[in-house]
Amino acid sequence: MKRREFLDDISKESLEQIIPCFLPKKKQYQRGSVILSYPDASNQPMHIGILETGAARLEVLGADGEMFQLEGFQQGDVFGEMFTLPLTNYEYIVTAEEDCRVIFLDYEHVITPCEHVCSHHTQMISNLFIMTAQKTQEMSFHLSVLNQRNTREKILCYLKYVRMMEDIAGDEEFRIPMTLSKLAEYLRVDRAAMTREIRGMKDEGMLESKNRWFRLLA
């Protein structure tokens, strides 16, 4: 499934007309600053954040004090309370990885059609709920990867998922959407250990790789 974007099928002219309805607020954040935090997904959504420039990450803090990164955000990505898993006893923290600028929209104004019930506002609401479902699937998959027994199984699980999402058949080559350093963070494994595991799988004829390009072999 093609990843849905917040402004899909909405023209620039239409956006200029309906954006004022959402009470937008722009804020600047320095690297390392907390952009948004919320205790868990049981709370009523308040904000929808759009990353206009820079990069950020979503981390989860458990009741035991353990923290791990759940998702990375790039320019144009959307985040907020509604884009999280229905888990309790967790705190979600969005942090700036670079200096960045964020546009905040008021959740209630986004999901409530204006008095004219314009088609573009309806399209935006449709995009928003499709994005919520897709992001929930991505986060659920990430948790399933982290639950794999060892580094090798984590790598294979992730690579098979990327191959499937890119609709790559058989042993065709595909490119992962992150650097190897970011992949190690995503898998929560040591970068050197991950590199050794990939080298071992190449020696065993399980895969081929060069930088971010991979090919899974039968």
Strands 56-62 and 67-73: antiparallel
Return all residues near 163 (Cβ < 8 A) that are at least 6 apart: 174, 216
DSSP the chain: -PPP-TTTT--HHHHHHHGGGG--EEEEE-TT-EEEEES-TTSPP-EEEEEEES-EEEEEEETTS-EEEEEEE-TT-EESGGGS-S-SSEEEEEEESSSEEEEEEEHHHHHS--TT--HHHHHHHHHHHHHHHHHHHHHHHHHHHHTSSSHHHHHHHHHHHHHHHTT--TT--EE-SS-HHHHHHHHTS-HHHHHHHHHHHHHTTSEEEETTEEEE--
- Cα(154)–Cα(202) distance, integer angstroms: 16
Specify the pLDDT at position 60: 82
Closest CA to 209 of 157, 141, 156: 156
- Residue 91: φ, ψ to 5°: -115, 130
Specify the pLDDT at position 214: 94
- Cα(24)–Cα(106) distance, integer angstroms: 7
**Residue 164: burial class (beta carbons within 10 Å; 0-12, 13-18, 19+):** exposed
Specify the pLDDT at position 151: 95
**Residue 65: burial class (beta carbons within 10 Å; 0-12, 13-18, 19+):** exposed
- Residue 17: φ, ψ to 5°: -80, -35
Specify the pLDDT at position 6: 57
Which residue ranges in the chain fall short of pLDDT 70? Answer: 1-23, 40-45, 85-88, 113-121, 218
101: left (phi over 0), alpha (psi -120 to 50) or beta: beta
Specify the pLDDT at position 18: 62
- Give the type of residue at 113: P
